[in-house]
Structure 1
């Protein structure tokens, strides 16, 4: 059997699902935002429930959407690893934060390694450094740097 390399989407889906985990009943994230499935927050209310199939569909739709938005914001070519890392990052922090970040400025200026190295700065939620974000950002950083030749 021939193994095909993973696309950015497969890498990003695996990363986001692993970092976010899945819950089929709404819960409050570390900063109190009602969340369901794989970190989905849009119009979620406490008490909401979803099936695994609904969660997987939401995850795919959201990751594809964030990936497209990342592409629209970036003016330099990205490797599949960079695309996956930045998509995971944007999924977590939102496009507004991605678009106003030093990370994006460095990336669009051609400083690909410098952009990857900005990821570990994003480890705070409401001023509190979260160990889960430290781990996530280091993983995203490593993935991002692995795509730079």
Structure 2
């Protein structure tokens, strides 16, 4: 579904705030809580420990990755999405990937018209490599709240 520039700007501003707030900015590559080399606002693809990035490079990576995540949302979700719901799903997809979104009960429920049930599925995605991470618990709660916005 094609989005106007105004729609894109709205969900993107919300998603940037959410993702950057939870990921934080680190301009030197580090290992995330489960050992994956990470840089900038949570970028992992092709990252090597010791790698450095400027603020502009990090912002560019974030913009590109959010756009990729948005395309993933469009590929998986057929139901109409409010700006907050799209931002929540883009943040989620940025974090777990398109494949995880597409194969999830979250996507199945939203596509079946059970928006609240789908949004509530976000709370189940708090584990990385079998370990429940406090940061993911907080992030999923925020994404769930955004996803449910306007329903309750």
- Name 1:116's counterpart in structure 2: 119
Residue 130 (structure 1) aligned to one of 133, 136, 149 = 133
Residue 12 (1) aligns with residue 19 (2): no
Q: Distance in 1 between matches of 2:95 and 2:150?
A: 20
Match of 1:22 in 2: 25
TM-score (norm 1): 0.94
State the match for 1:91 in structure 2: 94
1:28 & 1:120 partners in 2: Cα distance?
24
Q: Could you tell me the TM-score, scaled by structure 2's length?
A: 0.92
How many residues align structurally?
Answer: 146
1:49-128 superposed matches below 5 A? 49-128=52-131
Structure 1 unmatched runs, 5+ = none
| Alpha-carbon separation, structure 1, partners of 2:89 and 2:48 | 28
Structure 2's unaligned 5+ residue stretches are 1-5
Structure 1 outlier segments of 4+, above 3 Å: none
Distance 1:81 1:63 in 2: 14
Shift of 1:64: 1.3
- Find the aligned partners of 2:90 and 2:148 in 1 and give their Cα distance: 14
Q: Is the 8 A contact 1:81 1:146 kept in 2?
A: yes
